[in-house]
Amino acid sequence: MEGLRKGGFGSHLASLAAALLASVGAAFLLLYAFSSSFGEALGLFFLGPFQNAYYFGNMLGAASGLALAGLAAQFAFSARTFNLGGEGQLYLGAIAATAACLALPEESGLLGKAIGLAAGSAAGALLGALSGFLRRRLGVDELLSSFLLSSALVYAGDFLVSGPLQDPASNFQTSPAVPEGLRFARLLPPSSLSTAALLALAALAAAWFILGRTRFGFELRLSGKNAEFARYCGIDAGRYAAASLAISGALNGLAGAALILGTYNKAMKGFSAGLGWTGIAVALVAGGSPLALLPAALFFAYLDAGAKAVMIGADVTSEIVGVIQAIVFFLVTARALDSLVARRAAARAGRAAGGRG
């Protein structure tokens, strides 16, 4: 992440290539270790996602959700803040969107969709903003506060889905489906690819413009890069840090809402679990560029689709993807976010200098 440097796309591609290589190697080894039918599992893992239009469409659909979740993580990184609350923000965003859409009539169409997306974003933004507020006013580390808040509220989401929002006609812990008129159109039925993918693309383009081409984006990145210098320039760095967390939360909420309107159509208990973490992985591989999120999201969606294909067709559980992700993390991001380390080290030195008995 080269902070204020505009380009850097080439280096992101290099890191993406390294990620690809590392994960191929990891998948190879893991399948060898954990599958009794190595060759078959290998084929399913790497070629499964391209097996038919259904798998392929599902992969693209998953990638659009990952791109939004990745953008959420990246927006916080841009201001050198950590949003670890993606899990809760996404889940509650999805639930807020579901609740809003269930209250709307079928005919509300485009406006109804917009209201659903706005409700999801607002829920996520609220959670993100709370962490931002705590950091700005009380100096509470946003890394911890966002994680704790999110972890607690995931249970609030579980409660809502299996209580007040529970579909009385279903035996599963799920809300009723949102009205058909409020769903995004499927692009490759019956796969989950929908026009939500266009929304994700639009969000990436907008973020690229805002972060790279506007005063707001410039000041936001400068605040993270060098708060001291930003202050000399008359920029309130703390406000930008808080804003980045709120926007990051909003994007996670939007991702959750898009998941409801595009893919699942109803909120099920824990249906988005893990997506917030994968979003962080996507952002780390993409580095600082919103446009690089697209290949990064496709890459992680591919890994996930491969793992699902192996789970269905061979004897390996899909958790293999978590292990591969971990190895990719270790290998690829070794030198990424160097300045974040510097910020935390400086904060620690400050704490240590503050004296302790």
Partner 1 sequence: MKSLQDLSGILGAAGAAMAPLLYASLGGLLAELSGLLNIALEGLILIGAFAAAAAAGASRSLLVGLAAGAAASTLLAALFGLATLKGKANEFIAGLAANLLASGLAVLLSSRLYGTKGLLSFDIPSIPRLELASLAKLPILGELLFGQDALSYGSWLAAFLAWLLVAKSPLGLRLRAAGSNPKALAALGLSPERYRLAAILLSGLGCGLAGACLSLRLSAYVPGISSGRGWIALVAIYLGGRRPLGVLAACFLFAAADGFANYAQGFLEAPADFILALPYLLTLIALVAGAGARRLRGRD
Give me the residues that bind partner 1 (CB under 8 A), please. 30, 34, 82, 134, 138-141, 143-145, 147-149, 151-156, 158-159, 162-163, 277, 280, 284, 316-317, 319-323, 325-327, 329-330, 333-338, 340-341, 344-345, 348-349, 352-356
2 or 141: whose CB is closer to partner 1? 141
Q: Is 340 buried (19+), middle (13-18) or exposed (0-12) by CB count in 10 A?
A: middle
**Rounded-to-integer distance, Cα 237 and Cα 243, Å:** 10
Least separation in angstroms between CB 153 and partner 1: 7
Indicate the SS3 state at residue 354. Answer: coil
Query: Would you report the helix, strand and coil content of the chain in percent, each value rounded to 5?
Result: 75, 0, 25
Least separation in angstroms between CB 288 and partner 1: 14
136 or 266: whose CB is closer to partner 1? 136
Least separation in angstroms between CB 119 and partner 1: 21
- Nearest CA-CA partner of 300 in 317, 273, 277: 277
147 or 264: whose CB is closer to partner 1? 147
Least separation in angstroms between CB 109 and partner 1: 34
The rounded Cα 342 to chain-centroid distance in angstroms is 24
Least separation in angstroms between CB 159 and partner 1: 4
Least separation in angstroms between CB 226 and partner 1: 19
208 or 277: whose CB is closer to partner 1? 277
Q: Is 111 buried (19+), middle (13-18) or exposed (0-12) by CB count in 10 A?
A: exposed
Least separation in angstroms between CB 147 and partner 1: 7
Q: Tokens representing 21?
A: 């290589």
35 or 263: whose CB is closer to partner 1? 35
Strand partners, 174: 268
Q: Give me Rg for the CA atoms of the chain.
A: 21
- Nearest CA-CA partner of 218 in 1, 71, 2, 4: 4
Contact criterion met (CB below 8 Å) for 68 and 257: no
Least separation in angstroms between CB 201 and partner 1: 27
Contact criterion met (CB below 8 Å) for 49 and 185: no
CA distances from 318 to 147, 257, 259, 280, 332 (A): 25, 25, 21, 19, 22
139 or 234: whose CB is closer to partner 1? 139
In the DSSP assignment, the letter for residue 92 is H
93 or 217: whose CB is closer to partner 1? 93
231 or 351: whose CB is closer to partner 1? 351
**Rounded-to-integer distance, Cα 181 and Cα 315, Å:** 40
